[in-house]
Chain A
Amino acid sequence: MAKTTSWEIVMGLEVHVELATKTKIFCSCTTEFGGAPNTHCCPICTGMPGVLPSLNKAVVEYATKAGLALNCEITRYNKFDRKNYFYPDLPKAYQISQLYLPICRNGGIEIEAENGGKKVIGIHEIHMEEDAGKLVHDPWTDSTMVDYNRCGVPLIEIVSEPDFRSANEVIRYLEKLKAILQFIGVSDCKMQEGSLRADINLSVRPVGSEKFGTRTEMKNMNSFKAIARAINGESKRQIEVLEDGGEVKQETRRWDDNKDASFAMRSKEDAQDYKYFPEPDLIPIEISDETIEQTRNSLPELPEAKRQRYVSELGLSEYDASQLTTSKYLVALFEQNLEAGYPAKELANWIMGEVMRLLSDSGREPEDMTFDYSYLGLLIGMVQKNEITRNTAKKVFKAVFEEGCDPVRYVEEHNLKTVTDTGAVKAAIQEVVAANQKSVDEYKSGKEKALQYLIGQSMRALRGKADPQTVTAILKEILG
C-alpha cells in the first residue's frame, strides 16, 4: 500500500452496564457486589440440572428506561435468545441474551465534536443479558478458581454505531452515557467494580475513504484514561501495520495498560460458533404503548435538559453547566445546596474548583464523595457571614472532603473563625511592624513589594483568620 499521509480512526463501542436491580436477572439471589466466593448463588445461577430461568420484571423496566433516555425505539415484542459457548465462567455454557429482537433499537446521544460543534453518536441497539462469573488465578496449583457470585447479574449491552473518530469523542460519549444511566438510576456505573465496561471496535482508513478497514475488538479497559491510551496505542499499531504493507487481522485484543500495548487474545483453539437460537425457557416480552409512556413520564430531568436550564435560569456558564451535569452526584451536591438557598454561582465555583480539584488529586470519582452534601452549603454560609475567610474555608473543605468532618464544628474545634476584633488585629500587626523595621523602611522608600511581605507576615501571625483586606487597610494606616 502506498504511504498515506493521514489516517482516520473509525470506532464503535459495546458498553456493558450492570443494572442496579436488587436481584439477578433470572433468580432471586442478591446482586450485591463482592461477597465471599459462591455465596450469592443458587441452583439457577449456577446452572444446575433441571433449573429454569425466571425473568426479573425490574430488568425489563430498567432496560426500557435506559432505552428511552438514550432516545431509542422500544421493541414492542422482544425475546431472549441463547448464545452458546463453553467457558468456566458461564455455568450453563450458554448466555441468555437477545440477538433477534433486542429490547431497544435506533437511538443516539449528542456529544461535542472535535470541531466544537455537536455530533450525534448512533445507538444501534440495547439488549438485556446475564453477566458471567469471575475467574481467579490460583498460583499455588496453577489452576483457575471460579466464583459464580456475579453470574446472572443483569446487564444491558449498549451497541453504538461506528460513529467515533477520536479518543476524545469516545470519552465524551462514555461520560455522557454514564451520567444519563446514573441519573435515571438504572446503574451505578462503577468502572472499578466492573459495572460499566466498554469494548472498542477499532479500524483505520485513509482519510477520504468510504470503506471501513478491518477492525479489531479491544477488551479489558477499566478507566477512561486506559480507554484513551488503548485507542491511541491500537490505532498507531494498525497504521504501522498498514504502512508497512501488512494487513490488520480481525481479532480480539486485550489492552494491557501497564505495558501500554494491546495483545491478541489467543484465538480459541476450537471452532467458535455461538449457535444462537430462541430461548425456549422464556416467553416473549410485550411492552405496551401505555407502559412506554408511563416510563417516559417517570424519567427524571436528564443531564442535557439540566445543563440548558442551569445556563438559562441559573446563569451558569456553558462550561460549568456541562461539567456539573456529567455526574448525578455533582448535580445532587449542587441542587441540594441550591434548594437550601445558597447562590448558584458560588456553588458552581466551589464544585468546579475545590471539589473537582480534590477529586482529581485523589483519583476519585464523584460517586465516591462520602461527606454530607449539606456541609458545602454550611461552609459557603460561613464565608458569606464573614465567619471564616475564603482561604480558611478551602482548608476546612479539604477536611470535609477527606474525613467527612462537620465544617461548623471543625472551625470551632480548630479555632479558625475570622478575628473580627480589630483591636486584636491591630495589635498583631503592630508586632509585625515592630519586628520588621527593614521592610517598613523599604516600603516607605517606595517598594510596593515590601508591603506584600508585611501583609503576608501579618496574616501568618493571625493564622489566616483575618480578612486580608482589613489587614491591608490597618497596615497602611499604621505605616502612615
Chain B
Amino acid sequence: MVITDELVTYLEALGRIRLPEESRAKAQSDLQEILQYIDTLSELDTEGIEPMSHALPLTNVMREDEVQPSIPTEDVLRNAPAQKDNYFLVPRSFE
C-alpha cells in the first residue's frame, strides 16, 4: 500500500484535520513506514477465524427503562465555546 499525497489529503479530510505544510512530507513517510510494518499482519493465517471485538464473552448487559433527572442546562453548556439562549452555537449549517 502506497501512501500518496492524495491519500494523505483524503485522510486529513476524513479526520477533519490539516497537517502543517512543513510536516506533511514527514507525516507521509512516517505513515508509509508504519503501514508497511502493519502490513506484516497479512502474513498471518486467519482463515476461518471469527473476528473478536470483545475478549470477554459477555452479552445482554442492559439497564431498566427508568427516567433519571437530566442535568441542569447550565451544566450542559458549561464548557461550550459559544452559546446563545441555552443553545450551542455553530456556523450556519443549513442549505
With A57-B62, A137-B94 as given contacts, are A41 and B14 in contact (CB-CB < 8 Å)?
Answer: no
Given A39-B70, A41-B70, check contact A135 B94 (CB 8 Å): yes
Cβ-neighbour of A30 out of B60, B64, B67, B71 (below 8 A)? B67
**Minimum CB–CB distance for B19 against chain A, Å:** 16
Question: Contact flags (1/0) for A457-472 with B, using CB distance below 8 Å?
Answer: 0000000000000000
Residue pair B63, A283 in contact (C-beta under 8 Å): no
In angstroms, Cα B93 to Cα A138, docked, is 10
Decide if the interface of chain A is mainly helix, strand, loop or mixed.
loop
Q: Is the CB of A135 within 8 A of B93?
A: yes
- CB of B63 within 8 A of CB of A56, answer yes
Q: 1/0 per position for B40-56, CB-CB distance to A under 8 A? A: 00000000000001100
Contact assessment for B73 and A271 in the assembled complex, using a CB-CB cutoff below 8 Å: no
Contacts of B64 in A (CB 8 A): 57-58
Q: Is the CB of A87 within 8 A of B93?
A: yes
Name B's interface SS. loop
User: For the complex, is B23 an interface residue (Cβ under 8 Å from A)?
Assistant: no
Pick from A36, A145, A284: contact of B89, CB below 8 A.
A145
Interface-central residue, B61, B65, B67, B88, by most chain A CB under 10 Å = B65
* 1/0 contact string of B1-31 vs chain A (CB within 8 Å): 0000000001001101000000000000000
Name the residue on A nearest B65 (C-beta). A58
In the bound complex, what is the Cα–Cα distance between A36 and B86 (angstroms)? 8
Count A interface residues, CB 8 Å.
52
Q: Which of A43, A144, A285 contacts B71 (CB 8 A)?
A: A43
Q: How far is the CA of A138 from the CA of B63 in the complex (A)?
A: 38
Are A42 and B70 in touch, CB under 8 angstroms?
yes
In the complex, per-residue mask of B79-94: 1 if CB is within 8 Å of any chain A CB, else 0: 0000011111111111
Chain-B contact segment, one of A169-177, A272-280, A302-310 = A272-280
- Contact residues in A for B63 (Cβ distance below 8 Å): 28, 54-57
- What string of 1s and 0s marks CB contacts (under 8 Å) between A206-250 and chain B? 000000000000000000000000000000000000000000000
Q: A37-B87, A142-B92, A147-B87 are in contact. Are A55 and B61 (CB under 8 A)?
A: yes
CB of A143 within 8 A of CB of B68, answer: no
Contact between A284 and B70, CB atoms less than 8 A apart: no
A56 to B66, CA, bound (A): 9
How would residues 119 to 144 of chain A score, 1 for a CB under 8 Å from any chain B CB and 0 otherwise?
00000000000000001111001111
Other 5 A-B pairs with CB < 8 A, given A36-B73, A254-B95, A271-B13: A29-B67, A37-B87, A38-B88, A56-B63, A285-B59
Q: List 11 A-B contacts (CB under 8 A).
A: A23-B68, A37-B87, A42-B71, A46-B76, A143-B84, A144-B89, A144-B90, A145-B85, A145-B90, A146-B87, A271-B13
Closest 7 CB pairs of A and B: A145-B87, A28-B68, A58-B65, A57-B62, A146-B88, A144-B93, A278-B53
- Interface of B toward A, CB cutoff 8 Å: 10, 13-14, 16, 53-54, 58-68, 70-71, 73, 76-77, 84-95
